[in-house]
Structure 1
Amino acid sequence: MASKLTDSKHAVAHIFNSAIAAPAIAAAWELGFSMNITDYAEQHDLDLGSLKGLASALATVHVVKQDANTHVLRNENRTGSFYNRESAAIAYACREANAGFFDPMFWKAMGETDYQIHSVPALEFAAAESVLRGLSDRLTFIQGDACALKYRDEFNQVDLLTSFLMGHDFWPRENCVATLKSLRTAFPNVRRFLLCDTARVLLDSTDKSDTSRSRHAVTEGGVPIFTLGFEFGHAMMDTFIPTIEDWEGVLEEGGWRCNKSYTFPPSLPFCLDLEPINQH
C-alpha cells in the first residue's frame, strides 16, 4: 500500500495536471479529436508533437485512453513567433523550482569539487539582482548565443561552466554535439561543466519492448507535478526535450566525460558533472 506521503504527492500532482488538462479538453473538443494521433494530425494538417502533448495531457487525467490552444496546433499557423518564452519571467518563476530541485543537486556537486564560489543566479534581471546583493563588482554579464559562443580573451580564465534549464535548447542531436564542442573551444581552460536541466519522462513510448524508451519513463497514471506542464508546453513550442539516455549518447562525441550524475525523481531534474576529455 502506498504511504500517505506518496498519496499526498500524487494528489497534489493530480491537481496540477488537471489544471493543464482543462484547456486541453476544450482544444480537443474544438478539433474533434477522436482517432489515431498520427492519422489525425496528417488528415487535419496539425503539428504531431503538439498533438501528442495534448493527448498525453488528456490521458493523464483519464479523459481519454491513449493507445496516444488549438491555433498553434495547426501547421498553417506555426510560422514566425507563434510562441515566445519570456526569459526574465522564466528566470523569476523558476526560483522556487531551482531552490527545491536543482540547488540540492548543484551544491552537492559543487561540494565535491575544489571550487569556492559564492554567487547568485535573462541578463538585466540578473544584473539588477547582483547590485541588490552587493556582487556587481564580482560578476560580468555578457549577452551571446550559448549554442555558438566564440572565444574571447576573458574566457581564457574560466575554469568552471554552469548551465541551468537551457540544455534542451542545444538540441536536436547534431546541434547539441556541435554546441558541446564549441564550448570546449570557447573556454580552453575549463575544468568542470555542471549541466543542470530536466529530462523527458512522459512523452516516451510506454511499450517496454521499444529500445528507444527511457529507463525513467512514467505512465500517464503516475505523472508527477511539473512534468506535464513542462513537456506539453515545450511540445507546443516545437522544442525537443531529450531523455537522460539522449544526453548520455552525445557527451563523448561532444568532448565531455561525465564524472557523476545527480537526479531528483520523479519529475527528473538532473545535474551532470562533466569534465573535458583529453584536457592537457
Structure 2
Amino acid sequence: MTTDTVAPLSMRQAFNGTVLASAVTAAAELGLVDQLDEHRACALDTFARDHGLSFRALRLIADVLEGADAVATVHDGVTLVPGPRFTELRENKGYLVWLVKGHAPILAQADTFARAGRGQDAARLRDGRAIARACHDYGRFHVDPVFDRVTAGLAFECAADLGCGSGHRVIRLAHRYPGKRFVGLDPDEGAVETATKAVADAGLRDRVEIVHADVSRPARGRHPGVDLVFSFFPGHDLWPLEECVTSLGQVRRAFPDARRLLLGDTYRSDLSSDAAAPVFSLGFEYTHALMDQYIPSPGDWEAAIARSPWRLADRTELDLPYSCIFHLTPRH
C-alpha cells in the first residue's frame, strides 16, 4: 500500500481540519448526512425545527461541510444538497465519529495520558456506544463486503463474534442464514447494550445471543457447538506477544468445535510522520499509543499464530488501510 507525496500539514490545516472533523461528526450523529443520502436535499430550517436544533449551529455545520465540497446550498439559501465530495463524506464519516466522539476525552487530555502509567486511564474513557456505531458505519462500506465474500462459501451451524460491537455483523449473518445460530461477545457494556437492542429490534432474540464478556479470555464450555469464530478489530487489544499467544489458546479451548477463526484487524503502518497517511491509520495509532497499547505488524501476528493452537491458512486484505483478515484453522 503506497501513499502520495504531499506537503507537510500546516497549522492552519490542523486547526480548520479539527473544526471539519467536528462538523462531520455532528452531521453524522444528527442524521443530516443520512437525510441528504436518502432524499438528496434538506431544508435546514425545517430540519432544525423538527429535530429541536439551533438553526445557527446547524447553518455553521453545513457551512463547514460546504467548505470541504461535501454539500452545497441552493439558491434559496436554506436548502442543502450533496456536493462533489458527498460520497467521500458518506463513506468515511464513521472514521470521524470513531475519532472525535469515541475518543474525545483521550484527544483532549493527550498531554495527561502521555505520562507513563496513565494508558489504562485513557482506555477506560472511550465512548463504547459511539465507537460501536462508528465501526458499524465505516464497516458497511470497507469491511462487510469483503467479509461477505470470505464467509459465502463456509459451512457452519453456529458462529461467534468476539468483539461484536453494535452487533451488526451477527445480525446481517442471521438474516443471510435463517437456520443458523449466533453469539456476540463484547467487553464494553455500552456496546453490549447497543447490540442487545439491535438484536431485539431485528426480531432475532431466538437465534442471536449477546454476552458481556472478556473476548481475550472467553469462558470455556460456555458456547458449545460454535464451529465458526470471527473477530474484527479487538485483536490488537490482546498484545503484547505473550498475552496474544495465551489469548489465542484460550479462544481455541473456549470453542473446541471451531473449524475456522477469522481474525480481522488493523496492523501497524509506520506512517506516523507521513502527511499523506490514509484516513484512519494515523488516528488509530495515535489514540492507541496514548492508551499505551502496542500495535502489531503482520510479522508480529504471524509469530504469535505460529506459537498458538491455530495455523495460518490464508490472508485477505480489507478495504481499510493496513487491515486484513487472517484465516486460521486448528493446528490439530
Superposition TM-score tier, normalisation by shorter sequence? 0.5 to 0.7
CA-CA distance at 1:89 after TM superposition: 1.8
CA-CA distance at 1:188 after TM superposition: 0.9
Match in the other structure for 1:192: 260
Give the conservation status (yes or no) of the 8 Å contact 1:159–1:191: yes
Deviations 1:226-253 (A, max 9, x none): 1111110111111111111111111121
Separation (CA, whole Å) in 1 of partners of 2:202 and 2:209: 14
Match in the other structure for 2:330: 276
Match in the other structure for 2:226: 158
244, 247, 250: which one aligns with 1:176: 244
Question: What secondary structure sits across from 1:197 in the alignment?
Answer: strand
CA-CA distance at 1:137 after TM superposition: 1.1
Give the conservation status (yes or no) of the 8 Å contact 1:163–1:194: yes
Separation (CA, whole Å) in 1 of partners of 2:310 and 2:238: 15
Separation (CA, whole Å) in 2 of partners of 1:81 and 1:132: 34
Match in the other structure for 1:106: 147
Deviations 1:186-207 (A, max 9, x none): 1111111111111111268xxx
Q: Which runs of 5+ in 1 are unaligned?
A: 24-68, 205-218
Match in the other structure for 1:125: 194
220, 228, 231: which one aligns with 2:282: 228
The one-letter amino acid of 2:149's match is K
CA-CA distance at 1:265 after TM superposition: 6.0
Separation (CA, whole Å) in 2 of partners of 1:109 and 1:19: 41
Q: Number of residues paired by the alignment? A: 210
Structure ranking higher in strand proportion? 2
The one-letter amino acid of 1:146's match is V
CA-CA distance at 1:221 after TM superposition: 4.3
93, 118, 124: which one aligns with 1:78: 118
Residues 1:161 and 1:275: Cα distance change in structure 2 (over 3 Å): same
Q: How does 1:182-261 map to 2 (within 5 A)?
A: 182-202=250-270, 220-261=274-315
Separation (CA, whole Å) in 1 of partners of 2:15 and 2:197: 33
Give the conservation status (yes or no) of the 8 Å contact 1:73–1:236: yes
127, 131, 138: which one aligns with 1:90: 131
CA-CA distance at 1:263 after TM superposition: 1.0
Match in the other structure for 2:207: 138
The one-letter amino acid of 1:112's match is G
Match in the other structure for 1:64: none
Residues 1:256 and 1:88: Cα distance change in structure 2 (over 3 Å): same
Give the conservation status (yes or no) of the 8 Å contact 1:261–1:272: yes
Question: What secondary structure sits across from 1:113 in the alignment?
Answer: coil
Separation (CA, whole Å) in 2 of partners of 1:202 and 1:134: 44
Give the conservation status (yes or no) of the 8 Å contact 2:271–2:277: no
Give the conservation status (yes or no) of the 8 Å contact 1:101–1:269: no
Separation (CA, whole Å) in 1 of partners of 2:267 and 2:16: 19
Separation (CA, whole Å) in 2 of partners of 1:127 and 1:20: 38
Separation (CA, whole Å) in 2 of partners of 1:253 and 1:114: 27
Question: What secondary structure sits across from 1:259 in the alignment?
Answer: strand
Separation (CA, whole Å) in 1 of partners of 2:17 and 2:114: 15
- Misfit runs of 4+, over 6 Å: 19-23
Question: What secondary structure sits across from 2:306 in the alignment?
Answer: helix
Please say which of residues 226-235 and 255-264 is displaced more in the overlay: 255-264
The one-letter amino acid of 2:261's match is F
Match in the other structure for 2:321: 267
Q: Which runs of 5+ in 2 are unaligned?
A: 20-109, 160-172, 176-183, 185-190
Separation (CA, whole Å) in 2 of partners of 1:138 and 1:256: 28
